Structure 1
Amino acid sequence: MTGQNMYLELENKDNVECIKGEVYLSDDISDAFPNKYPHKSEATVTCICIKGEITAEINQFPVRAKAPGLLVLLPGQIRELTNVSDDFQGEFIIMTRQFTESISLPEGFSTFMSVRSTPFLPLGERALEAILNHHKMLVGVLRNKDEGLNRKAIVKHLTIALFYGLGYYLHKVNNKKKTRNEIIMEDFLKLVLKYCKQERSLSFYADRLYITTKYLSVAVKNVSGKTAGQWLDDYIILEAKSLIKTTDMTIQQISDELNFPSQSFFGKFFKREVGMSPKQYRDTE
């Protein structure tokens, strides 16, 4: 499902409060994860986990979100929901890129930087209560249809307050000093996210990290157990799966988008990694 279609569906649901094209509040997890396969989204999603737990993969990393806690998904991340407990209960704030860009938080806002490496934040009961009270204020504003009320401005300021509050909690749990290898791993994956469609040579990434290809490979393997080459291939496959399932692009167009020399080369690479052809993957439910 494309982003635009997702927002149109949300606007027609009885359980959703929203400012169209900006921000949506829901208590249904399928609104936050509209596809059951890996997909890239431009939405920022905050999930307030009240009861139970969910597991997901975000940019290849497994994440377990167990209540009470807060899960944050950022634009451009490839996400896949893998399991939801029967007793799961949560509240979701879904923000379009247009909305988050209009907030004008500082470039490189530290909370976003922390969330990329720590998407789930366990909360104590008092912290959960504070965030739920904040959520109730958002619901109240969105339900108020008074034309004299500048709902968008109020929601913007409440959202800014939420992110700064989140930054406070993240600072408390993220004070462990990272090793040199962990920093290399983190910086490598940032580069992979940015350039994997164009560059598949490890030397390209090593050069930008000012280290040798061998040093990069050893550092990444020591931290993650996977080689740098495996991470690169996995990200390309994630991009391919997302494009195959969530766009109307032809296989040739996807091959070109991912900078493969030919559709045949792309098809062989995809089948080797996934076990089926791109067309077969598109036809799977």
Structure 2
Amino acid sequence: MKELEEITFQTLTNNEDIQIGYSDNDIIVVDSIQRFAEISAAHVSMNAIAICTQGKVQGSMNGQQIELHQNQVAIIPQNITVTDVMISPDFDLKGLFLTNSILQSFLREKMNIWNEMMFIKRYHIITITEEDILFYTHFYDMITLAISKGMDNPYHTDIVQSLLRSAILALCGAMKQKLSLATDHHIKTSDNHFQRFLDLLHSTEIKHRTVETYASDLCISPKYLTAICKKNSGKTANEWITEHVLEDIRYYLRHTDLSIKQICDRLGFPNSSFFGKYVKDHFGVTPLEFRNS
């Protein structure tokens, strides 16, 4: 089993080897993260936006191969497992880590662009043009100035968060261009329900629940939830749920020392026998065999 580094709010702020430029209850700005040259696998519990400032890094994000070069941005949703990390000797990056609540507060109705980028299209890398580099460099300098010079201002946190929100909105615009969304459009009710379903699915610790349960949380019928999922993504609600449950199973079996019974309980399965059958049906092996493979 690969040793997995947990990247959480606490591990980032409490590590002396990581250069923290700013932190509050919802945001961490990392000035340098060269220390992660030593990490081959990590579980990232917060949403992260990372700009490669030099060198390159490659790895696997929940099984999807990615490669990040200088002047590229990696966008990572919360609770992602990154494995098989390999970096160049000169690799470094600047990172922004955000809780889900502050990200939703920043993006508001534009959260649908983030969700489509991350969870439907699964695009995680954006290349920055020379013009973009200049734009974000000026933005970073302004944020750095606000952080260092405005500590005594009673609205210090609001000022920094406003600047960060503006930068993230600019990045969201780049996402929209990548998704070939020509213009802003009014979000239809069905699309809005689909986005709410994705938000609920990604923020729920126990994802192994019925379509009926998710539909009830959204105050819509199970049939309607399945229909809007199929319309917006080509996958049914049950397929979305299963996909995310399997990602959690992979993580807990491959990268934690929790017992099979503990994993079964944590993921909301009624008993170990049912959990074992579920794993066998989807992976073709028992939980123990999958863990040891």
TM-score tier (shorter) = 0.5 to 0.7
**What are the within-5 Å matches in structure 2 for residues 47-126 of structure 1?**
47-75=50-78, 77-86=79-88, 87-97=90-100, 99-100=102-103, 103-116=105-118, 117=121, 118-126=123-131
Q: What is the aligned partner in structure 1 of residue 160 from structure 2?
A: 155
Give the Å deviation of 1:157.
0.8
**What are the within-5 Å matches in structure 2 for residues 164-175 of structure 1?**
164-175=169-180
- Is the aligned partner of 1:127 residue 2:132? yes
- Is the aligned partner of 1:198 residue 2:206? no
Give the Å deviation of 1:169.
2.1
Farther off after superposition, 132-141 or 232-241: 232-241
Report the 3-state secondary structure (helix = DSSP H, G, I; strand = E; otherwise coil) of the residue aligned with 1:210.
helix
Q: What is the aligned partner in structure 2 of residue 180 from structure 1?
A: none
Mapped partners of 1:255, 1:138: distance in 2: 44
Mapped partners of 1:207, 1:32: distance in 2: 47
Mapped partners of 1:169, 1:63: distance in 2: 19
Aligned with 2:148 (options 128, 140, 143): 143
Bigger RCO of structures 1 and 2 (CA < 8 A, at least 6 apart): 1
Verify the 8 A CA contact 1:54 1:65 in the aligned structure 2: yes
Mind listing any 5+ residue stretches in structure 2 that lack a counterpart? 1-5, 183-193, 216-221
Evaluate the alpha carbon distance shift between residue 100 and residue 32 of structure 1 in structure 2; reply closer, same or farther with a 3 A threshold: farther
Mapped partners of 1:155, 1:32: distance in 2: 29
TM-score by length of 2: 0.65
Verify the 8 A CA contact 2:48 2:98 in the aligned structure 1: yes
Percentage of matched positions with identical amino acids: 15
AA at the equivalent of 2:71: P
The CA RMSD measured in Å over matched residues stands at 4.6
Give the Å deviation of 1:46.
1.0
Give the Å deviation of 1:275.
6.5
**What are the within-5 Å matches in structure 2 for residues 234-249 of structure 1?**
235-243=244-252
Farther off after superposition, 149-158 or 235-244: 235-244
Mapped partners of 1:104, 1:146: distance in 2: 22
Post-superposition CA distance 1:183-213 (Å, at most 9, x none): xxxx799497578522499xx99873339x9
**What are the within-5 Å matches in structure 2 for residues 17-56 of structure 1?**
17-21=21-25, 22-28=27-33, 36-37=41-42, 39=43, 41=45, 43-56=46-59
Post-superposition CA distance 1:33-87 (Å, at most 9, x none): 97815x351x221111233333344454333333322111223x42314333314
Mind listing any 5+ residue stretches in structure 1 that lack a counterpart? 178-186, 221-227
Farther off after superposition, 260-269 or 88-97: 260-269
After TM superposition, where is structure 1 displaced by more than 4 Å over at least 4 residues in a row?
29-35, 187-196, 204-207, 231-234, 243-250, 267-272, 274-281
Verify the 8 A CA contact 1:110 1:167 in the aligned structure 2: no
Mapped partners of 2:7, 2:52: distance in 1: 25
AA at the equivalent of 1:19: S
TM-score by length of 1: 0.67
